[in-house]
Structure 1
Amino acid sequence: MEKSTLALAIVAGIVGLPYVQQASAAGFIEDSKATLSLRNLYFNQDYRSGTQPLSKAEEWGQGFVLNVQSGYTPGPVGFGVDAIGLFGVKLASNAGDNPGYTPQLFPLRSNGSAADQFSSVGLTGKARYSKTVAQVGTLLPKLPVLVYNDGRLLPATYEGGQITSNEIGNLTLTAGQIDRTRLRASTDLEGLSAGGAGTPTTNRFYFGGADYRVGKNLLLQYYYGALHNYYEQHFFGLTHTQPLPLGSLISDLRYFRSTSDGKNASAAGRSDGYRVADARVAGDPHKGEIDSDLWSAQFTWKVGGHALSVGYQENIGDSELARIFSGPGVTTYTIANRHVGGFIRPGERVWVGTYTYDFAALGVPGLTARLFYNKGYDISVAGSSRHDHEWERDARLEYVVQSGPLKNLNLAWWNASLRSTVRSQRDIDENRLVIGYTLPLF
């Protein structure tokens, strides 16, 4: 089948329209591309503390992601459409044996068991003028103030609109609004809320920002995000690469300022999800208020196949870092975000260490190993008369086949251990085994 015929057939099938071949709009067809990504994931969380009935979460599934991107129609303003199809299949799950189970890979049915399969389709219309692109529909944002989660079988998605402009040299401008989200283990679109318990939902999150490159080695960033009538957030970032006589030094500085807005600015409209009550104050009027200054600095020395990083992160405020709710997983643009823990609690100070080795330096391209260690302390949480602490140790081993019939096949093992004195946090040992493959269709 010719590329134009295949492209039209796939897009028509996803949209659900009858396929009719059209010979016009050559750029729309000839510049189109499609991939099918397969992810086989075994997920195991072993809970080492806590009195809840669930002692282990164990699931295994197969995920499929069909991604179709059209080109643009001819003319000063080009139009196109993208489509993403998500399909997950359960191979095994212990969800039905555990009341109150939180979905990890699959949605839950009414009887508490995991669904045998689940799927969704997202469409994105797009328009391009010069070096500016506007998108409306399904989005996968990866911005400092809004990061989609892709840590399980299928990615979480958002619905909304976004404009990205590169009209000015070395400057990228981004702005948009999202109104709904589909979580990673769900088929339903739902409203937006802050990542804390009991927060109200809304249908508006605004974001915008700029990435400015100064030469080849310096990146400056500013981003703004606001959950309507609940919180505002400002982000400033700087990344610099300094060549050294031996290797290079990468400096990464980040700062988030999160404040209350609208309902969260008044005691009557707050939830308990962020700032904890001061035990010394009866009926603390600031309970639930978003108020966080989180900053970090990380320095990475890269030489040969080695990369060694040391970083420090501190949340000076009395609340967690504000973020959009993304289900049981926490994905934030912070240096301390790990496989299990978020390390963004009120008052938390975190030392971060990472080591990466690329075995291409030993003649084994495609094989990498990474080690992570976080040590968090001075945590202020509800019901605690002292400062709590936690640590997490992660290891990741990955191999990507470089040639032959299995080229681009990805094999990975992720291992993590979290230990915490925070009462609401269970000690966890986690393993993920991943087999992934992306097949170009055209």
Structure 2
Amino acid sequence: SQLAMASAQDESKGFIEDSKLNVKTRMLYFSRDFRNVPNGAQSRVEETGLGFLGTFESGFTQGTVGFGVDAIGMLGIKLDSGKGRAGTGLFPQGSDGRSQDDYSEGGGAVKMRISNTVLKFGDQFTALPVLATDDSRLLPEVAEGGLITSNEIDGLTLHAGHFTALNAQAQTYHDSLNLTEANVFGGTYAINDNLSTSVYYSHIEDHFRKWYGNINWALPISDKQGLVFDFNIYDTKSIGNNLTGAFVSKADGSNELDNIAASLSAAYNIGAHTFTLAYQKVSGDGDYAYGVDGGGTIFLANSVARSDFNAEDEKSWQARYDLNFAEYGVPGLTFMTRYVRGTGATTRTTDDGKEWER
């Protein structure tokens, strides 16, 4: 049987001694052309911004129960935009359609720790497969609520959380994504160094409930070669007032979500090179839905930069190549290229939609 891990709280050095302050900057240029748009419609978006993200994490006070605080400060500055080019999601927009010159947000959280279990309440970033804040634009989303993270057993991580607000990436007003209540729980267990599994559940009030499962298996071939298989699956059903319904209504007029979205990827690593193939499928009623539960809540292989390939009935495959230049004496430099194609999507206008991304 697995033995309990050494207590992290017993090793606490103190509130100040273990504290960390980080400031990150990010410059982001975003450009997108819209092809085949109707006459008079916006044909492109193009903006540049500079973002600052500051995070403070205190240590925990010493003793059986440790206490601490965390703080977040964010600032986004517009460097280039225009009325006809706004809408990238980098900045809040005014009633005239123009992006704001700057925007900022701050928040904090209190935390306590007993042994290897931490309770954190307040503003925080989350990375759970059923509640993941998005960091794909200038500044990240921020969730408000409480989260328990427990690592009492070696190899086992458990989570339980209750959240009542979620701020979008380019909005500063409270709960801009209109999250009423989200309850989440689950965990990840590392069976050994090469095999792990996860199960999570979420209940998003008046939207949907989700089950998520994952199996990740790394198969070493030699010191320089290996295979990694990754399987992900979501089971989603509408609940309550069904505020996030299917885009395409059924014959009886209902638009409830009731679907399964799954993906399987296989990656072959040899030295600096990684070759990946992936397949993804959505079956049932409605698209795989997410957003009110975090813009990052899609742990599927074919969720890429522009499209998630998550439409109702859609099947997609991906071919990808990665190169890590650390093997050639340039640590931190990587290269990636990929091609993804989706077919069979059901939308408002067709039952055989196709899309691709490279």
Question: TM-score w.r.t. structure 1 length?
Answer: 0.75
Please list every run of 5 or more consecutive structure 1 residues that lacks an aligned counterpart in the other structure: 1-24, 193-200, 265-269, 394-442
8 Å contact from structure 1 (residues 158, 180) kept in 2:
yes
Task: State the partner residue of 2:5.
Answer: none
Supply the distance in 1 between the matched residues of 2:296 and 2:58 (Cα, whole angstroms): 32
Task: State the partner residue of 2:134.
Answer: 149
1:330 Cα offset (Å): 6.7
Q: In 2 relative to 1, CA 292–375 (structure 1 residues): closer, same or farther, beyond 3 Å?
A: same
8 Å contact from structure 2 (residues 231, 263) kept in 1:
yes
Which one has the largest radius of gyration?
1
Q: Among residues 382, 392, 406, which one is paired with 2:348 in the alignment? A: 382
| Structure 2 residue matching 1:167: 3-state secondary structure | strand
Supply the distance in 2 between the matched residues of 1:73 and 1:326 (Cα, whole angstroms): 33
User: How do residues 3-402 of structure 1 correspond to structure 2 at under 5 angstroms?
Assistant: 27-51=14-38, 53-94=41-82, 96-97=83-84, 102=87, 104-190=89-175, 192=177, 201-245=178-222, 247-264=225-242, 273-278=245-250, 281=251, 284-286=252-254, 288-325=255-292, 332-384=298-350, 386-393=351-358
Supply the distance in 2 between the matched residues of 1:58 and 1:294 (Cα, whole angstroms): 32
* Amino acid in the other structure paired with 2:122: G
Supply the distance in 1 between the matched residues of 2:256 and 2:65 (Cα, whole angstroms): 45
* Amino acid in the other structure paired with 1:53: A
**Structure 1 residues 88-138: Cα deviation after superposition (integer angstroms, max 9, x where no partner):** 1111112x236xx53521111233221111101010110000000000011
* Amino acid in the other structure paired with 1:254: N
Q: In 2 relative to 1, CA 371–380 (structure 1 residues): closer, same or farther, beyond 3 Å?
A: same
| Structure 1 residue matching 2:52: 3-state secondary structure | strand
* Amino acid in the other structure paired with 1:31: D
Supply the distance in 1 between the matched residues of 2:176 and 2:334 (Cα, whole angstroms): 39
Supply the distance in 1 between the matched residues of 2:179 and 2:128 (Cα, whole angstroms): 20
Q: In 2 relative to 1, CA 330–202 (structure 1 residues): closer, same or farther, beyond 3 Å?
A: closer
Q: In 2 relative to 1, CA 142–202 (structure 1 residues): closer, same or farther, beyond 3 Å?
A: closer
Supply the distance in 1 between the matched residues of 2:90 and 2:184 (Cα, whole angstroms): 29
8 Å contact from structure 2 (residues 261, 283) kept in 1:
yes
| Structure 1 residue matching 2:323: 3-state secondary structure | strand
| Structure 2 residue matching 1:361: 3-state secondary structure | helix
Q: In 2 relative to 1, CA 35–202 (structure 1 residues): closer, same or farther, beyond 3 Å?
A: closer
| Structure 2 residue matching 1:346: 3-state secondary structure | coil
Supply the distance in 2 between the matched residues of 1:233 and 1:26 (Cα, whole angstroms): 40
Please list every run of 5 or more consecutive structure 2 residues that lacks an aligned counterpart in the other structure: 1-11
1:261 Cα offset (Å): 1.6
8 Å contact from structure 2 (residues 179, 293) kept in 1:
no
Q: In 2 relative to 1, CA 202–59 (structure 1 residues): closer, same or farther, beyond 3 Å?
A: closer
Relative contact order (C-alpha < 8 Å, sep 6+): which is higher?
A: 1
Question: TM-score w.r.t. structure 2 length?
Answer: 0.91
* Amino acid in the other structure paired with 1:68: F
**Structure 1 residues 169-209: Cα deviation after superposition (integer angstroms, max 9, x where no partner):** 211000101111111111112265xxxxxxxx552011111
8 Å contact from structure 1 (residues 80, 126) kept in 2:
yes
1:331 Cα offset (Å): 5.5
**Structure 1 residues 241-281: Cα deviation after superposition (integer angstroms, max 9, x where no partner):** 011146111010111111122223xxxxx66x425124xx3
**Structure 1 residues 29-54: Cα deviation after superposition (integer angstroms, max 9, x where no partner):** 11101011011111111222211521
Aligned residues: 345
Q: In 2 relative to 1, CA 109–326 (structure 1 residues): closer, same or farther, beyond 3 Å?
A: farther
Supply the distance in 1 between the matched residues of 2:292 and 2:338 (Cα, whole angstroms): 25
Supply the distance in 2 between the matched residues of 1:322 and 1:152 (Cα, whole angstroms): 20
1:361 Cα offset (Å): 2.2
Q: In 2 relative to 1, CA 260–139 (structure 1 residues): closer, same or farther, beyond 3 Å?
A: same
* Amino acid in the other structure paired with 1:354: R
Task: State the partner residue of 2:9.
Answer: none
**Structure 1 residues 11-33: Cα deviation after superposition (integer angstroms, max 9, x where no partner):** xxxxxxxxxxxxxx971111101
| Structure 2 residue matching 1:374: 3-state secondary structure | strand
| Structure 2 residue matching 1:97: 3-state secondary structure | coil
8 Å contact from structure 2 (residues 135, 296) kept in 1:
no
> Which 10-residue stretch deviates more, 183-192 or 228-237?
183-192
1:347 Cα offset (Å): 0.3
8 Å contact from structure 1 (residues 358, 369) kept in 2:
yes
